[in-house]
C-alpha cells in the first residue's frame, strides 16, 4: 500500500484520503485486486479509527469481506482488538444502503459477535436503530438464518429481552412469531418478567404485545 495512503489511515486523515483519491482515481480499485492484503479498512479496523473506517466502507464496500494474510476480515480485526464502537458503527450505520451492501459483500459478518457476545441484531436494537434492525431481520429471513434472533448475549438476553427493557414495541411486533417469548435470561427472567420490573419507565404498548404473544 502507498505510504501516504497508509499514513492517512493511521492518522484518520479523511481529507488526505480524498486528496490521494483525486490524484489516483483507481487507487482503491487497484488494492481490491491484490489478494490477501491489509486494505485501508483492515488497518482502520485494527486501530479503531471508526470515522475513517465508515468512509472507506462507503467508498469500497467490498473491502468488508476481504481476508488478509491471516485470514481475517476487518470485522474480525475490530473484534479481536476490542474496538466495539467501530463494530457497532459498521453494523448499525444509519446509511441503510451501506448496511445492505456490507451484508451483501460480507454475509458472514452477520454472525460476528462483540466481546459481550452481542449479535449485530442485539447491537442495532440496543442503539435504537429501527431501520437497521429491519434490514438485518429481512436479511436473516432471506438467508434462512432467523434462528440468530434467538441467540443470547453475555447476560442471556435475547433481542426480545433487549427490545422490552428499551421500550421498542415496533421491534417487538416484528419479532413476535419468530422468537420464544418465554426464553429466560441468565437471571431466570422472561421478557414479561422484565417488563413487570420496569416500574414507571415501562411502555404499556410493550405489555400489550407480550400479553398477546
**Domain ranges within the chain, ordered by starting residue:** 1-95, 113-213
**At what angle are helices 50-59 and 84-91 packed, to 10 degrees?**
30
What gap in Å lies between CA 152 and CA 190, rounded to an integer?
Answer: 12
| Mean residue pLDDT across the chain | 87
Predicted confidence (pLDDT) per residue in 195-213, tens digit:
999 988 888 999 999 999 8
**Could you check whether 1-95 and 113-213 share the same CATH topology?**
yes
The pTM (predicted TM-score) of the whole model is: 0.68
Which of 20-34, 103-117, 187-201 shows the lowest mean pLDDT across its residues? 103-117
pLDDT tens-digit series, residues 74-90: 877 887 787 877 876 77
- Name the burial class of residue 171, with classes exposed (0-12), middle (13-18) and buried (19+) by CB atoms within 10 angstroms of its CB: buried
Contact predicate 149/140, CB 8 Å: yes
Is the model's pLDDT at 162 over the cut of 80?
A: yes
Q: Under DSSP, is residue 176 helix (H, G, I), strand (E, B) or coil?
A: strand
Give 179's DSSP letter. Answer: B
Residue 157 has pLDDT above 90, yes or no: yes
Cα Rg of the chain (Å, integer): 19
Q: Is the pLDDT of residue 33 over 80?
A: yes
- Residue for grid cell 432471506: 142
CATH code of 113-213, in short, is 1.25.40.20
Arch. (CATH architecture) of 1-95: Alpha Horseshoe (1.25)
Task: Give me the pLDDT at residue 124, please.
Answer: 84
Amino acid at each position: 500500500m502507498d505510504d501516504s495512503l497508509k499514513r492517512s489511515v493511521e492518522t484518520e486523515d479523511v481529507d488526505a484520503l480524498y486528496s490521494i483519491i483525486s490524484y489516483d482515481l483507481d487507487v482503491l480499485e487497484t488494492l481490491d485486486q491484490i489478494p490477501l492484503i491489509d486494505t485501508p479498512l483492515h488497518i482502520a479496523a485494527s486501530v479503531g479509527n471508526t470515522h475513517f473506517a465508515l468512509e472507506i466502507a462507503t467508498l469500497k464496500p467490498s473491502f468488508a469481506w476481504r481476508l488478509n494474510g491471516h485470514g481475517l476480515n476487518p470485522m474480525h480485526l475490530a473484534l479481536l482488538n476490542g474496538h466495539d464502537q467501530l463494530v457497532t458503527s459498521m453494523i448499525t450505520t444509519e446509511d441503510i444502503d451501506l448496511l445492505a451492501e456490507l451484508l451483501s459483500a460480507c454475509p458472514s459478518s452477520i454472525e460476528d459477535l462483540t466481546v459481550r457476545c452481542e449479535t449485530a441484531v442485539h447491537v442495532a436494537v440496543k442503539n435504537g436503530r429501527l431501520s437497521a434492525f429491519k434490514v438485518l431481520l429481512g436479511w436473516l429471513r432471506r438467508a434462512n438464518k432467523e434462528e440468530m434472533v434467538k441467540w443470547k448475549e453475555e447476560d442471556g438476553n435475547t433481542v426480545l429481552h433487549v427490545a422490552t427493557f428499551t421500550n421498542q414495541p415496533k421491534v417487538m411486533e416484528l419479532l413476535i412469531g419468530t422468537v420464544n417469548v418465554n426464553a429466560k435470561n441468565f437471571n431466570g427472567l422472561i421478557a414479561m418478567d422484565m417488563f413487570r420490573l420496569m416500574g414507571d419507565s415501562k411502555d404499556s404498548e410493550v405489555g400489550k404485545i407480550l400479553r398477546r404473544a
